[in-house]
Structure 1
Amino acid sequence: MASLRRPLRHLHLPSIHPHYIPYSLASRVQEHFRREHLDFKDISSSPTAPSHQPLPPPPPPTLISFTPAPIYTLGRRQTAPLTPTELARLTAPLRIRAPLRAGGSGSGASGSRREDGDPTRAPVTVPPSVLHSPRGGLTTYHGPGQVVLWPVLDLKSALHRQFTVKCYARLLEDTTIATLAAVFGLEAFTTGDPGPASAPSEEDVVVVDGAEEEEEMAKIAALGVHLRRHVTSLGTALNLTTPPPTVTDETVSPWARIVACGLEGRGVTSVAGEVGLKRADALLRKFQAPRATLGLFLEADVAGMREELVAGYWAEELSGRIGAQGVEEVGGEEAVELMERLVRDDGTAEEKGYLERVREEVWLT
């Protein structure tokens, strides 16, 4: 089966402050690649398929990475509907600062400096969205300061190692832990049970080993998995520069509005919160993996490429762990063109507006 191996295809969907990709648009991309796998399974298992026609090649495993506009997702354990008060609290405007820069420059570092008219450095105020997600668990947050990593692959494919549901959940955890250790020197581990093999994985935690007492552990990443006929969706969200738990102002910190994933007494941390932003970016500068995705940031501005670089390392780590033949980076323009095709007929105003702004103001000017 080794001859069938294919590279892991990696698309990093652009989010460049203040233009963050709508979660719904990233979900469209995910469903596009998931449909490739499901269609192939239909064709290859159909009893009416013409025997004289060769089957199309199976689709490769794919990783979608992105940083979405602010959103709270409710897991399958969130059975009670939100009250009007709870919904109003979650959707109240959230102040999103520009990406933190090493050395303290920019609004994200201290919040005390004006941006001198530069729209890419000015904070924005955005009401978060709220939606139900097919993953296990309760409520969690996704948004600026995170990188979200969604692998789409067939757990039973011959193109790579095969996994049970529980082993796949552990694979995502181990990939995240290895990335934190290799790139940032952070020791992390998991707690809790990834969930029964017969059901979508429950929300789990990756925590920084910064204290002996369990109640002092802090959540640095979230896991949520959904399967359809062994084809995966959703994945991992890793906190890079999200606000620390010491920030209790709900207009600034999304975590202040919820008990993340229902884990009472456990804080939420980030890479920058654990190692410091300057050291984190210095470590990222040493990371020299091939990059063919965004390609428009000044290389000196690590803040612009932080999420992409971490996603690139995570992709390479995942590729090795599933036995894929390396990583194939999909170019940024190709990713944008795919999104434009997906929204052409029934895209929302938010999705189309985001793509127009990426094209006209940021992407290919």
Structure 2
Amino acid sequence: MTAAQIVRLLHRDPTYFRYSALKKLHQALRRKILDHRAAPSQGSLPPKPTVVYFEPAPTYLHGRSAGKDERELMSWLIPIADKFYYDCDHDSSYRLSAAQQRELKSELKIHSRRALRYKQDDPAEQDGKPEKFHCVPEVVQCLDRNLSTYLGPGQAVVWPVLDLRSDMHAGRSKSNIEDAIAYGTLNFVQHGLGLRNTIYKPGSGIWTHSVYFKDEQRQIADIHVDIEDDILSFGVTLNVENPILGLSSINPWFHLKEASIEFNSVTSVAIEYGILGNILGNSKTISMPDIMDHLTVYICRALGFSNIKFANHDDVIEDFSSFFEGGWGMPMILPLDVDIF
């Protein structure tokens, strides 16, 4: 099978990654592919496929759907906007109101036993008590998404960056790649995590019949990919131990609801294991680094890659650390050559 490379966290205890920093990293990886296409050096090999995985800093991704109160009005206006606007950002119907912006930028409290560092200055030791952080989430408009969602601590995010003109992926469609990522995720959730009563809904992610929520179907993993210039980006977000319940100061989904923004009802691995509470890393049952490692391997194998080894990130991206200035952590690169699982 073809080799690839993975970006993973430098430390076993993860630091949270800004969405904006990861976007810059993605653009750098895309640029390497585009530069090679434009002027391939004689005898040079194209950039290897890359998979980025990380635990995100708090971020709201605002999709195309309007608030619930505006849904009926926009059902006919959105197709018109799509027809006449190449960039739908020109249409104000996709924008958040000032009140919605204020709601989503409400301060969140993060309680974690795993965090190394969240701000530029390290938190003081607290005698074994969870480190407590206060933050204002990033709010990012994503017009290629139908529904809004949240990224944040306690989630495992895996983003492949693949050249769909390569011999391995030539002719693969967006839905084909999306299905491969989804079935790799589904296989991990069912067999790696033991949540058997789980299904894949194409275009909507991985859903489970929740034990906690009385057999209600809830989304446990969001699947979303994007293709531009025949380069695939984004992938899967798995809810592991991120807060789903609780007060507005802790539960990010509360603010989406208060802002009348549509989103999928969600659950998490922790909740389905019967582990309640909002302290990250509080249970010995869940090892976030191990879950991130194994989920990525399942997805890589579903995409056709098999082998993994560590390598220096500076060999892949020049000035790599510049993407993660300000104490937000730095990943490292792993070319897929040697099995580690």
TM-score category of the 2 structures, normalised to the smaller one: 0.7 to 0.9
Amino acid at match of 1:327: I
How high is the TM-score relative to the length of structure 1? 0.68
Inter-CA distance 36–328: structure 2 relative to 1 (3 Å threshold): farther
> Counterpart of 2:242?
242
Equivalent-residue separation in structure 2 for 1:269 and 1:75 (angstroms): 20
The answer (yes or no) to whether the contact 1:11–1:329 under 8 Å persists in 2 is no
List aligned pairs for 1:1-365, cutoff 5 A.
Answer: 5-13=1-9, 19-43=15-39, 54-77=42-65, 79-99=93-113, 117-118=126-127, 121-133=130-142, 135-159=144-168, 163-187=172-196, 188-191=198-201, 193-194=202-203, 204-210=204-210, 216-245=216-245, 247=246, 249-259=247-257, 262-263=262-263, 267-277=265-275, 306-330=287-311, 334=313, 341-342=319-320, 344=322, 351-354=324-327
Q: Which has the higher helix share?
A: 1
In the aligned structure 2, how far is the partner of 1:358 from the partner of 1:63? 15
Give 1:129 deviation, angstroms: 1.1
Q: Is contact 2:163–2:169 with CA below 8 Å preserved after alignment?
A: no
SS at match of 1:251: coil
Give the 3 Å change call, closer, same or farther, for CA 325–80 of structure 1 in structure 2. Answer: closer
Q: Are the structure 2 counterparts of residues 42 and 339 from structure 1 closer, same or farther at C-alpha, using a change threshold of 3 Å?
A: closer
Distance 1:163 1:238 in 2: 24
Q: Is the 8 A contact 1:241 1:272 kept in 2?
A: yes
Does the Cα contact within 8 Å between 2:15 and 2:55 map onto a contact in 1?
no
Q: 1:42 to 1:141 in 2, by over 3 A?
A: same
Q: In 2, are the aligned partners of 1:10 and 1:330 still within 8 Å (CA)?
A: no
Is contact 2:112-2:132 (8 Å) kept? yes
The letter of the residue matching 2:102 is A
Secondary structure, aligned partner of 1:57: coil
> Displacement of 1:215 after TM fit?
8.4
Tell me the SS of whatever aligns to 1:97.
strand
Gaps of 5+ in 2: 67-92, 116-123, 332-341
Q: Shift of residue 162 of structure 1?
A: 5.2
Following superposition, the deviation at residue 190 of structure 1 comes to 2.2
Which sections of structure 1, spanning at least 5 residues, go unmatched? 45-52, 102-114, 195-203, 279-299, 360-365
Q: Please list the CA deviations of residues 72-107 of structure 1 after superposition, one character each: whole Å capped at 9, or x if unmatched.
A: 011244543211111111001101110479xxxxxx
Determine if contact 1:144/1:242 at 8 Å carries over to the other structure.
yes
Q: CA deviation at 1:21?
A: 2.0
Quote the sequence identity (%): 23
Query: Residues 128-161 of structure 1, C-alpha deviation per residue, up to 9 Å, x if partnerless?
Result: 1111125322211101010111001123321457
The change in CA–CA distance for 1:270 and 1:38 in structure 2 (over 3 A counts) is same
Instruction: Report if aligned partners of 1:14, 1:66 keep a CA contact under 8 Å in 2.
Output: no
Paired position in structure 2 for 1:294: none
Determine helix, strand or coil for the equivalent of 1:354. coil
Counterparts of 1:324 and 1:261, CA distance in 2: 38
Residue 6 of structure 1 deviates from its aligned partner by 3.2
Deviation at 1:33, TM superposition (A): 1.4
Q: Which amino acid aligns with 2:232?
A: T
Q: CA deviation at 1:301?
A: 9.8
Q: For 2:6 and 2:55, how far apart are their aligned partners in 1?
A: 15
| Contact 1:161 1:322 (8 Å CA) reproduced | no
Secondary structure at the counterpart of residue 258 of structure 1: helix
- Distance in 2 (CA, whole Å) between partners of 1:119 and 1:353 is 25
- How far off is 1:241 after superposition? 0.2
| CA-to-aligned-CA distance 1:303-360 (integer Å, 9 cap, x gap) | 7x933322221222223222224234445xx37x97882564xx6xxx42125x779x
Q: How many residues align?
A: 289
Query: Aligned-pair RMSD on alpha carbons?
Result: 3.7
Q: In structure 2, how many angstroms separate the alpha carbons of the residues matched to 1:54 and 1:23? A: 36
- Larger RCO (CA under 8 A, 6+ residues apart): 2
Assess, with a 3 A threshold, how the Cα gap between structure 1 residues 94 and 218 changes in structure 2: closer, same or farther: same
Native 8 Å contact 2:113 2:282 kept in 1: no
Cα offset for 1:222? 0.9
Q: What is the CA distance between 1:16 and its match in structure 2? A: 8.3
